[in-house]
């Protein structure tokens, strides 16, 4: 699990660099919610030491909500800002849609989830891009995203899950999209994954997970994802049984704002778990084990 910590000044500086990079792609991040994140982080950078309890009560919740989305944008920036813009057309398109939407996650409605949905697609591409380990994001994928490892190409469809009731429908939709990709790309070297973000199920954006230390935070995040998979995996297994066997399984992401008391700093805690489908061939099981190892060491 990744636990991101930084001083307020460091976080503000990196978000500023991210905004400059987004502008270099020909986009206008200050027209949307990113402006509020930047302003909010700048305020706390300058005032957190002198803030009164009343200041914290009134404004700190907004700051915590803002920094989680800002951290997602920064994660995309970290992975792709060194690449020439000519290679980033798909990332640019995703970011252009991701800059809109409500400032607060808890204010999302079904018709306003699009912005963070596209940000999740860009974030998955960033998470799966590890050229130093031979894992390369496919930035021209006709699916939501994808990656290459050796001769294998893995097509990925992404879904943010905002309701337990809609989990199966989202998995079904994603797997149908993968089967359309397989029709365009024949052969066993083409594989598929469904990536789901379950963060909204655990926290709508209005809460903060407080733990005494990093080890406890890691353990609790891991237990939540493990419990979710145990309780819900039959929903996606029911879908996969009727789908192409090249769909290898599900990539599950959980992210939440947290606080580690021993550090006394707000923290973005993120867990990524690869869950293979039932009766997956041994070669594909090994492939996913290697992918999980790559994600775990990143």
How many alpha carbons fall within 13 Å on the CB side of residue 60? Answer: 17
User: Is the pLDDT confidence value at 3 over 90?
Assistant: no
Closest CA to 275 of 292, 251, 296, 297: 251
Q: pLDDT tens digit string along 242-290?
A: 999 999 999 999 999 888 888 777 788 999 999 999 999 999 999 999 9
Domain extents in the chain: 2-297
Give me the helices (H) in the chain, please.
8-24, 33-47, 53-80, 89-98, 114-127, 167-184, 199-202, 214-240, 282-297
pTM attached to this predicted model = 0.93
Residue 4 predicted with pLDDT over 60 = no
Tell me: pLDDT of 295 over 90. no
Per residue in 117-147, pLDDT (tens digit) is: 999 999 999 999 999 999 999 999 999 999 9
- Contact between residue 130 and residue 121 where contact means Cβ atoms under 8 Å apart: no
Which residues lie closer than 8 Å to 75 by C-beta, 6 or more apart? 123, 126, 127
Q: What is the arithmetic mean of pLDDT over 8-37? A: 91
């Amino acid at each position: 699990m990744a636990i991101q910590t930084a001083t307020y000044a460091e976080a503000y500086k990196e978000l500023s660099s991210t905004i400059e990079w987004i502008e270099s792609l020909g986009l206008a991040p200050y027209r949307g919610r990113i402006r509020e994140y930047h302003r909010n982080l700048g305020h706390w950078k300058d005032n957190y030491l002198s803030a009164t309890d009343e200041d914290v009560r009134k404004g700190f919740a907004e700051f915590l909500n803002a920094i989680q989305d800002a951290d997602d944008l920064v994660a995309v920036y970290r992975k792709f800002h060194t690449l020439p813009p000519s290679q980033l057309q798909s990332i640019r398109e995703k970011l252009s849609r991701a800059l809109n939407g409500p400032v607060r996650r808890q204010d999302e409605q079904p018709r306003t989830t699009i912005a963070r949905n596209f940000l999740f697609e860009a974030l998955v591409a960033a998470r799966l891009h590890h050229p130093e380990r031979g894992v390369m994001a496919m930035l021209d994928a006709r699916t939501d995203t994808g990656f290459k490892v050796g001769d294998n190409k893995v097509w990925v469809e992404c879904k943010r899950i905002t309701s337990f009731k809609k989990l199966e429908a989202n998995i079904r939709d994603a797997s149908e999209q993968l089967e359309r990709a397989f029709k365009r790309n024949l052969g066993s070297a083409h594989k598929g994954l469904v990536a789901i973000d379950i963060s909204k199920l655990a926290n709508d954006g209005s809460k903060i997970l407080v733990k005494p230390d990093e080890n406890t935070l890691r353990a609790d995040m891991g237990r939540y994802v493990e419990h979710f998979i145990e309780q819900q995996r039959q929903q996606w297994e029911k879908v996969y049984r009727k789908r192409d066997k090249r769909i290898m399984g599900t990539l599950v992401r959980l992210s939440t704002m947290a606080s580690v008391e021993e550090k006394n700093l707000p923290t973005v805690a993120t867990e990524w778990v690869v869950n293979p489908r039932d009766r997956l061939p041994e070669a594909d099981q090994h492939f996913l084990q290697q992918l999980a190892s790559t994600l775990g060491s990143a």
